[in-house]
Amino acid sequence: MTQDAAYERSMRRALDLAGNGPATGVNPRVGCVILGADGETLAEGWHRGAGTSHAEVDALAKLPAGAARGATAVVTLEPCNHTGRTGPCSVALLDAGIGRVVYAVADPGEHSSGGAERLRAAGVAVQGGVLAEEATVFLADWLFAAGLGRPFVTVKWASSLDGRAAAADGTSQWITGPEARQDVHRRRAQADAILVGTGTVLADDPALTARDADGALLAGQPVPVILGTRPIPAGSAVLAHPQVPLFFDGGDIGSVLRALHERGIRRAFVEGGPTLASAFVAAGLVDEYLIYLAPTLIGGGRLALGDIGVSSVAEQRRLAIDHIDRLGEDILVVARPRERNDHVHRNH
């Protein structure tokens, strides 16, 4: 087996190890394999969540003192170069005497990047880009959030085929069928936070939990985030959520997203209602659209989306369809913006 093939094999193992870590939270899922001079595996490690040892340190801790000298560390993400709850992984690798570091993707973080440069400056051989495409897909949301300093934002709505999110009397439960609603709960469980406006809380009193088909709570529960200035009743269902709700006035959603990012939230799920969804679209702060279409017609003025700042066809927000799924009698359209508006994110 060639050296490159050995590195790819070990990187795939490192990606498998990374999958043991928590899918949500402030830190990325990272795996590490330490190889000896003959390519044999000396130790393996992965990151188990904020405040625990990073993957490289976890692997090194399984070796006797001096056993890593001259060895190769294969790690899914460039070793970090900053001190947070734990020290820099680049320093830990240097202290252990590692001779070569092979990583998949560079760390885009403003404060955490630079580990590869530090290692090279100390005489360690460094090789990046091994299985970069696979690792980028695996770390997609975290890489996105680290690069922009805000969470990846998904906006979801359910509507009739004529684009209505509710009937004239305001009722909306249920436009879509059980399969579509269960898909929403599954996606909620994969998010770090679920965002709604106070209008939705007052009108629908949602629990904002992620539940299975029998109503039991799923393992993953997003933090409820309520945007708006109107007070909500003391008995609101969201106040009994397993996670403590966060409240923002919602005046500057760019600032809200930055605040959520600082709290470790990397994936935000915007679920209601039309006013809030429209604000995110108008600000250019939507990275993914989940549009559930039911085979029904409602009519009236209760649209799923309101004013998004488009006054002519020339200003329309073009989307790229990622995929379309059939969920029972309903259709799910997953789409993303054709053009990124990341300058909006940095300037607000």
Question: Residues comprising the binding site?
Answer: 54, 80, 89, 158, 172, 174, 188, 200, 204, 208, 211, 229, 271, 273-279
CA dist 323 and 333 (Å) reads: 6
Q: How many residues are recorded in the chain?
A: 348
Residues β-bridged to residue 265? none
- Enumerate residues 6+ apart whose C-beta is below 8 A from 241: 207, 208, 209, 221, 224
Binding residues for NADP(+): 158, 174, 200, 204, 229, 273-279
Task: Give the strands of the sheet with 72-77, arranged side by side.
Answer: 41-46, 31-35, 72-77, 100-105, 125-127
Catalytic residue among 44, 56, 78, 288: 56
Q: Which residues are annotated as a binding site for substrate?
A: 172, 188, 208, 211, 271
Q: Which of 123, 77, 75, 81 is nearest to 101 (CA)?
A: 75
179 catalytic per annotation: no
Which residues carry a binding-site annotation for Zn(2+)?
54, 80, 89
Nearest to 277 by CA among 250, 245, 244, 304: 304
What are the residue numbers of the active site? 56
